[in-house]
């Protein structure tokens, strides 16, 4: 049976590493990303559309948005989708946005 020696860690943990772990553990990073996404959506869509819509989820590059009016749903899908997607890509260059999907539902 050999002698085992205690090997202390290399030193104190960096504060940046501790904060990163804390943000992940508490979900703060996701909340900040969500707020940025919602703010960017409101800016890209404009006040007229933003008050009648709600961001649902960004999944695999597709942003799903709830729309509270079937007429507005049709307008966004047929006429406003491309211009809004272009503006969103400029506002969120770090995000991969491939498409927008609109669904009828509650806005706020």
pLDDT at 9: 65
pTM, whole model, 2 decimals?
0.74
Are the CB atoms for 29 and 23 separated by under 8 Å? Answer: yes
CA dist 87 → 27, 40, 42, 61, 62 (Å): 27, 9, 11, 15, 15
At 58, list the tokens. 């960004």
Are the CB atoms for 47 and 56 separated by under 8 Å? Answer: no
- Domains, the chain, in order of start with CATH, read 15-104 (3.30.300.180)
Going residue by residue through the chain (108 aa), what tens digit of pLDDT does each one get? 566 665 666 777 777 666 666 556 665 567 888 899 999 999 999 999 999 999 999 999 999 999 999 999 999 999 999 999 999 999 999 889 999 999 999 887
pLDDT at 27: 56
Are the CB atoms for 97 and 87 separated by under 8 Å? Answer: no
Helix (H) or strand (E) holding 53: strand 53-59
């Amino acid at each position: 049976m050999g002698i085992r020696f205690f090997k202390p860690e290399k030193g104190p943990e960096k504060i940046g590493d501790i904060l990163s772990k804390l943000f992940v553990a508490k979900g703060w990073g996701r909340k900040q990303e969500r707020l940025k996404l919602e703010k960017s959506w409101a800016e890209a869509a404009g006040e007229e559309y933003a008050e009648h819509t709600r961001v649902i989820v960004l999944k695999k590059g597709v942003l799903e948005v709830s729309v509270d009016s079937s007429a507005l749903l049709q307008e966004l899908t047929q006429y406003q989708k491309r211009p809004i997607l272009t503006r969103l890509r400029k506002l969120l260059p770090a995000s991969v946005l491939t498409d927008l999907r609109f669904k009828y539902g509650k806005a706020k």
